[in-house]
Chain A
Amino acid sequence: MKSRSDRLVIFIIYFGFFAAIEFLVTKDIVSSAILPKPSEILKLFWLDRSVLTTAFLQTAFSSVVAFILAAFLAFALGILIHLSDLLKKTAMPVALFLQTVPIIAIAPLLVIYFGFGWVTTLIAGIIVCFFPVLISTTTGLANTKSTEDELLQFLKASRLQKLIFLQIPNALPNILAGLKTSAGLAVIGVVSGEFLVGSGLGALIESSRLQQRVDFVFASLILLALLGLILMKSTEIIFTWLFKKYLIRK
């Protein structure tokens, strides 16, 4: 019952917010060239659905592929780093570099190296969403309970057995947290690439901005937020479904 009243309050807050924007723009207190009316954006979603759908699908496809590739690569590297101190010392500075340098600064270089194609967009996405999965995997693998560790030592389990039967299952909740962060970041990386490569919602935002079409910019931003949410939520659902028993045990 409480949750229903909470939802109602949230709905009223959002409705009031959008109604206020609609009022301010309709009464010309705020320029429609700067802030479009919510009703105009809704109209745009219908009238220009073909342009928006095409751009959305391009960005969505690139984001999903970048996210899946980054997740597998980061998970594999996380395991290798866990197993080898030398690799940890070698790979972590590079991973940290890629995490700390803004993608917007790296993206022009990617165009020089990989050209104006889908690969550039994909790599931009991978770079941005790689790090959270890597860190969550290495942290999760290191967080083994000492009693469980001692038990496996007593049973004379090999390093591989310990990894498969104890450390990876233990790391799953951490990995899920990393994956959820990465899912949102994949969209950011891909759009940064699209600004330069000229495809998807990134290109649509750029050309709309140049033509002072803020309604298109806002519609694209809404689609980007929606895409990020869909990716995060579906990641959580799929991952929880696949590893339910380990996550509950934790």
Chain B
Amino acid sequence: MHKTITCMISTMLISFSSFAATKLALNWKAESEFGGFYEALPFYKKQNLDIEIQEGGSGSPTSQMLMNESVDYAIVSAEEVVLSADRDAKRRLVAVFSVFETSPYMIMAHEGFESNKLSDLFQDSKQTISLQKGLPYVEYLLKKFAPIQAKIVPYTGGIGLFQSNQMMAQQGFITSEALLADQLNLKVKTWLVADEGFNPYITVLAVREDFLKKNRASVQKMVEATRQGWLAYLKNPKATNTLMNQKNPAMTMKMLELSLVKMQALMKFEPLALGQMKSERWQQLNKQMRELKLIKKDLKAEEFFQNF
């Protein structure tokens, strides 16, 4: 009886301690693009930060979770930071660290597609392109290549439909879907959306502006520990990859390794430090999203991010 009560109290205490931890919400399951955050867990502890990483899933609304104060740190995209400022300026988000310097958004077609230009893909009436309308980069491409001859269908996730249809192209991440196609021995052509002129920061660590104002020192520690985590992960990812593989078995060790190789090419921040962002990139994104009529307000680039 005593044991049962002790066990129940321990469980409750663990639960309460879990509530006390500061939450970092991911917008997807454990995979390479979050490797540095998992690697940073001991660095957070060294900085006296009690961080609990919460995995996300399909459509995890991490930006709204931040705005709603459900979490204090979350992984979002730069577009979500801009949208948050437009939708509710008082609870807007501030980006404090970016994993990708170059956006990994890409369009992928089968190698049989003859042209090397993405514009030709959108003008080919025989091609079907699977895109998730509403995503800013998709809206950008649809506007850039209008009028479009290819058939546009919704994106359903994964590469199942792409695999079964030689005349199908789709959206994705160069670090994920393109690798998956490679693993299935599919010969593909890929185009980075960044090369087409839309290059937002991706896998961005963000906080609420009011949280940043009140906890500036703590956020700075968080960013520094995160940077240390990423540097350590890039140097030796094996232990963290094993941990992420246990959390998300769909990502095999080989996939995690290959994904990291692809990521490294998109993580060249020099002369800035790893994770730091440029004002002109935010300005450009703000302008593009206004042109796409996704936002109404014209905000200053400096309001979107803070480098540490």
Which of B84, B154, B160, B294: most chain A Cβ within 10 A? B154
Contact B164 A33 (CB under 8 A): no
Q: Pick the residue among A32, A197, A198 that contacts B87 (CB under 8 A).
A: A32
Q: How far is the CA of A208 from the CA of B160 in the complex (A)?
A: 25
Interface string of A184-218 (1 = CB under 8 A from B): 00000000000111100001001111111000000
Q: How far is the CA of A216 from the CA of B67 in the complex (A)?
A: 18
Q: How far is the CA of A219 from the CA of B64 in the complex (A)?
A: 18
Contact A203 B59 (CB under 8 A): no
Contact A112 B63 (CB under 8 A): no
Q: Pick the residue among B63, B88, B154 that contacts A116 (CB under 8 A).
A: B154
Contact A210 B154 (CB under 8 A): no
Contact A112 B90 (CB under 8 A): no
B54 close to A (CB within 8 Å): no
Contact B67 A112 (CB under 8 A): no
B273 close to A (CB within 8 Å): no
Q: How far is the CA of A238 from the CA of B84 in the complex (A)?
A: 48
Contact A28 B90 (CB under 8 A): yes
**Across-interface contacts of B294 in A (CB, < 8 A):** 211
The closest CB in chain A to the CB of B80 belongs to A212
The count of residues in chain B whose C-beta lies closer than 8 Å to any C-beta of chain A is 27
Contact A116 B153 (CB under 8 A): yes
**Across-interface contacts of A143 in B (CB, < 8 A):** none
Contact A198 B83 (CB under 8 A): no
The closest CB in chain A to the CB of B89 belongs to A33
Q: How far is the CB of A168 from chain B (nearest CB, A)?
A: 42
Contact A33 B87 (CB under 8 A): yes
Contact B134 A31 (CB under 8 A): no
A34 close to B (CB within 8 Å): yes
Contact B154 A33 (CB under 8 A): no
Q: Contacts A28-B90, A32-B88, A198-B133; is A212 near B157 (CB within 8 Å)?
A: no
**Across-interface contacts of B164 in A (CB, < 8 A):** 112
Contact A33 B135 (CB under 8 A): no
Contact A31 B68 (CB under 8 A): yes
Interface string of A109-141 (1 = CB under 8 A from B): 001100010000000000000000000000000
The count of residues in chain A whose C-beta lies closer than 8 Å to any C-beta of chain B is 21
Q: Pick the residue among B59, B61, B132, B161 that contacts A111 (CB under 8 A).
A: B161
B156 close to A (CB within 8 Å): yes
Contact B83 A108 (CB under 8 A): no
**Across-interface contacts of A31 in B (CB, < 8 A):** 67-68, 88, 90-91
The closest CB in chain B to the CB of A117 belongs to B153
Enumerate B83-116 residues with CB–CB distance to A below 8 Å.
83-84, 87-88, 90-91
Interface string of B214-251 (1 = CB under 8 A from A): 00000000000000000000000000000000000000
**Across-interface contacts of B91 in A (CB, < 8 A):** 31, 33
Contact A33 B84 (CB under 8 A): yes
Interface string of B10-42 (1 = CB under 8 A from A): 000000000000000000000000000000000
The closest CB in chain A to the CB of B63 belongs to A212
Q: How far is the CB of A109 from chain B (nearest CB, A)?
A: 9
Q: How far is the CB of B117 from chain A (nearest CB, A)?
A: 25
Q: How far is the CB of B160 from chain A (nearest CB, A)?
A: 6
Contact B64 A34 (CB under 8 A): yes
Q: How far is the CB of B25 from chain A (nearest CB, A)?
A: 15
Q: How far is the CA of A64 from the CA of B156 in the complex (A)?
A: 25
Q: How far is the CA of A152 from the CA of B235 in the complex (A)?
A: 86
The closest CB in chain A to the CB of B163 belongs to A112
Contact A207 B63 (CB under 8 A): no
**Across-interface contacts of B84 in A (CB, < 8 A):** 33, 212
The closest CB in chain A to the CB of B152 belongs to A198
The closest CB in chain B to the CB of A206 belongs to B134
Q: How far is the CA of A108 from the CA of B133 in the complex (A)?
A: 17
Q: How far is the CA of A210 from the CA of B67 in the complex (A)?
A: 15
Interface string of B130-161 (1 = CB under 8 A from A): 00111110000000000000000110110011
Q: List 15 A-B contacts (CB under 8 A).
A: A31-B91, A32-B87, A32-B88, A33-B91, A34-B67, A108-B157, A111-B161, A112-B164, A196-B154, A197-B154, A203-B133, A210-B134, A211-B134, A211-B294, A212-B80
List the 3 closest A-B pairs by CB distance, nearest first.
Answer: A207-B134, A198-B154, A210-B134
Question: Taking beta carbons and an 8 Å cutoff, which residues of B are in contact with A?
Answer: 59, 61, 63-64, 67-68, 80, 83-84, 87-88, 90-91, 128, 132-136, 153-154, 156-157, 160-161, 164, 294
Question: Taking beta carbons and an 8 Å cutoff, which residues of A are in contact with B?
Answer: 28, 31-34, 108, 111-112, 116, 195-198, 203, 206-212
13 A-B pairs besides A31-B91, A116-B128 with CB distance below 8 A are A28-B90, A33-B84, A34-B67, A112-B161, A195-B154, A198-B133, A198-B153, A203-B133, A206-B134, A209-B134, A210-B134, A211-B294, A212-B87
